Structure 1
Amino acid sequence: MTRHEARTGRVPGQGEDATGAQVPVRGAEIAFTARGRGDVVLHAHGLTSSRAADTARDLVDYAPAAAGHRLISYDARGHGRSTGAPRPEDYRWDALAQDMLALADHFSPDRPVGVIGASMGTATALHAAVRAPHRFSRLVLTTPPTAWEARAAQAGQYRYMADLAARDATGLMALIRDSPAPAALAGTRYSAEPDVSAALLPHVLAGAAASDLPAPEALAALRLPTLILAWDTDPVHPVETAERLKALIPASRLHVSTTPQDIAGWGRRAAAFLGEPTRSTH
């Protein structure tokens, strides 16, 4: 029996309410949904999104991963139903990695966890894995964001959006609504409208502007089995980042989707990958 089971009388995450469950993490209350049984897999969404927003967009359903695992989907600090403070440094990707590691310790104190990340969630997973590779079994990295040499332009865009959010929230919403969806998502319910409060949105965006993926040499040292899933025609999530990650991470594989129908299969791809036997690489 783990320390959590001894204290609460149940396995972490079991029997939790899908919308109301929260766990305290580093001064915030992190909202989560728990499904399935087995080894824990953490599911981390993208910048300004949330569990509810992902569900509404209906692009990918990761429920298949819950067939053989305990799938913990959570709202990042300051997103969705999770709380946060008006401090940009709290929303840097390396800071969000500390939250992910705390969640891993809470839900699976005695075993490594798998991760499914999207964009910011992918960046969070990479920072966490570089910091504590022994806490992870497998990584599923979807829609990797701009990074390294290509990061400056996107960081500038986030700084502009953070300033606009602070002085003209209506103008920012118009900018987001007018931004075209990637061609690979044509015909879907894709929307970039944020699920972050007006009070926190400038700080969340400023945190993203101050962030980047871990250094390439740090990623090259990772020995975790890794599945990279990308879609094309999206400058915010360029295929070039995914290809660079594939070249850097030794035990990685890459799949690039060009249609919504193929993207819809990511849940099954992730579940199959997470279910593969893992040899110790530490």
Structure 2
Amino acid sequence: MSPTTEPEQKTFDVGEAVLAYDETGDGPPVVYAHGLTGSRANDDAWTLTDWSPVVVAGRCLVRYDARGHGRSTGRPQHTDYTWSHLAGDMLAMLDHVAGPEPVDVMGSSMGCGTLVHAALRRPERFARLVLIIPPTAWETRPAVAEANRTSADIVEQRGLAAYLDAIRDLPLSPIHSQAPGEPPLPDITEALYPHVMRGAAATDLPDPEALRTLRHRTLILAWEQDPGHPVSTAEKLHALLPNAHLHIAADYADVTTWGERAAAFLNA
């Protein structure tokens, strides 16, 4: 997101955490949820995806830091960071910024998992859905869950700096390699990092058959050759969701069109 003016920083107390958020633009709200270890600041620092076309198209873009990420607070309790628990924060944020009206919502990776859980819990709160780089799920989830638990153990035993040093030379996916700049560091404190990662390890998308009940108009944006966000998840969601359209990007140049694609979909 590259807003032309610095948005006002706001906070919202959900009881277990205080969520930091901002609003850019005028018009009907569109709420955006980022991915694991990310934040609004990280999205601004490394503009892998630029959602400013949503604002230009006449919408108010509401971005928030998930609990334990960025400027939002969090507790040292891993169950707080499962997608089903984060869904409660998303629903509270929708009520806070939009009242009772259905809201268009975008979610990336962890935010995508959060969005799917929230939409199943309270489908009437949602208008259109944009599911961005759906993460590993179902049969592809166990390997990533084990990696998340391992990272939690290393940070607890040796510290966050040691873990980041250990993964420094791991190869990036092709699209990440094509994007300008360097991936930002995790925007999570060392104290909370193990709990956030264990929460991620303990989570998954809902039962596939339950997803067939989600009749919202849905845009799925996926990219190729990223084991953490396999095309297989996006394709399965496309098959399960009755009103979904799937777009798969082969390179970074295609990803730079996602802002316009999302804006056109949300305003259709």
- The normalised TM-score by structure 1 is 0.89
> What stretches of structure 1 of length at least 5 have no aligned partner?
1-16, 277-282
Structure 1 residue 19 displacement after superposition: 5.9
Aligned counterpart in structure 2 of residue 33 of structure 1, from 17, 22, 41: 22
Pair 1:178-2:169 in alignment: yes
Gaps of 5+ in 2: 1-5
Matched, 1:213 2:201: no
Superimposed CA distance per residue, residues 189-212 of structure 1 (whole angstroms, 9 cap, x where no aligned partner): 351621001110100000000000
Corresponding position: 1:93 with 2:100:
no
Kept in 1, the 8 Å contact 2:21–2:62? The answer is yes
* One of 100, 108, 111 as aligned partner of 1:118: 108
Aligned counterpart, 2:3: none
Change (3 A) 1:175 1:226: farther
Aligned equivalents of 1:128 and 1:179: distance in 2?
33
**SS of match in other structure, 1:223:** coil
Q: Among 244, 248, 256, which residue is 1:264 paired with?
A: 256
Give the whole-Å Cα distance in 1 for the aligned partners of 2:202 and 2:8: 31
Partner-residue secondary structure (3-state), 1:94: helix
- Structure 1 residue 186, shift from structure 2 partner: 2.2
Change (3 A) 1:120 1:206: same
Is 1:128 aligned to residue 118 of structure 2?
yes
CA distance in 1, matches of 2:147, 2:238: 26
1:167 is the counterpart of 2:191:
no
Match of 1:23, SS state, is strand
Asked if 1:241 is matched to 2:233, the reply is yes
**Equivalent residue for 1:59?**
48
Looking at structure 2, the residues matched to 190 and 96 of structure 1 have their Cα atoms a distance apart, in angstroms, of 28
Deviation at 1:178, TM superposition (A): 2.0
The alignment yields a C-alpha RMSD, in angstroms, of: 1.5
Aligned partner of 1:71 in structure 2 is 61
- For the 8 Å contact 1:117–1:140, the answer to whether it is kept is yes
Taking only the aligned residue pairs, the percentage that are identical comes to: 50
Q: Could you tell me which residue of structure 1 aligns to residue 145 of structure 2?
A: 155
- SS of 1:261 mapped into structure 2: helix
Q: Distance in 2 between matches of 1:225 and 1:165?
A: 41
Shift of 1:231: 0.8
Instruction: Give the AA of the match of 1:185.
Output: H
